[in-house]
Amino acid sequence: MYINNMKVENKNIYISCWLLLITFLVALMIVIGGLTRLTDSGLSITTWDLVSGILPPLSLNEWEKSFSLYKLIPEYKLLNSSMTLDQFKIIYWWEYIHRLLGRFVGLFFLIPLLYFTFKKKIRKNSLLSLYIILLLIFFQGFIGWYMVRSGLTEKTDVSHYRLAMHLTLAFIIFILLLWNYLKYREQQAFISNKKLPLHLPIFLLFFYFYKSA
């Protein structure tokens, strides 16, 4: 009995550490996303290359090509027409890091989740919530590009409605990850019940919307 309890506890530790890492990465992504917004860097990358976009420009020609694409959008024509290539690189790196971190979140969540599922290390009643989070992470990537597109044609900024949707979904993902992390840490943390109260994520969402109002 003791050995079985130790195995369950070790399994929960691995899963909780994984969830803690993803929770931290999502929190970091929210912060970097805010800095990207504050530095007006969100429209610096005008294409959505899911695979080839992993690598940044590696030569002067590639940098000039990216800069030339940026010169075609209203933000450059109306606000940043005097911008140099070196100045463009600064805003490019902010958006690049934001997108790269998004890819890391997706991969670091997907691969361990498939492994834990295949090895049957996750309780069945927890699988649904984790796969919902996975779908939300993928959907968040689509919403991010949907938001960026709104600022590439006629406006010099992204749609505030799409921006609010993007940020709200990020907090929903963060709250769900934190909830699942605490659930797997219940044996070591302050929670003594077998199940984490379902009202916790609802309370956190209410607190977020209250502060945003």
- Among the listed ranges 15-19, 52-56, 126-130, 173-177, which one has the minimum average pLDDT value? 52-56
Q: How far is residue 49 CA from its own chain's centroid?
A: 17
pLDDT digits (tens, 9 = 90+) for 3-47: 444 444 556 788 889 999 999 999 999 999 999 999 999 899 998
In angstroms, the CA 48 to CA 63 distance is 16
Contacts of residue 97, defined as CB under 8 A and 6 or more positions apart, other chains included, come to: 32
Give the predicted TM-score (pTM) of the model.
0.81
Q: What are all long-range contacts of 53-62, with beta carbons under 8 Å and residues at least 24 apart?
A: 53/99, 54/100, 54/103, 56/92, 56/93, 56/96, 57/92
pLDDT of residue 45: 92
pLDDT digits (tens, 9 = 90+) for 71-129: 999 999 999 899 999 999 999 999 999 999 999 999 999 999 999 999 888 877 788 99
The identity of residue 68, as a single letter, is S
Q: What's the DSSP call for residue 53? A: G
Tracing tokens 């977020």 back to the chain, one arrives at: 208
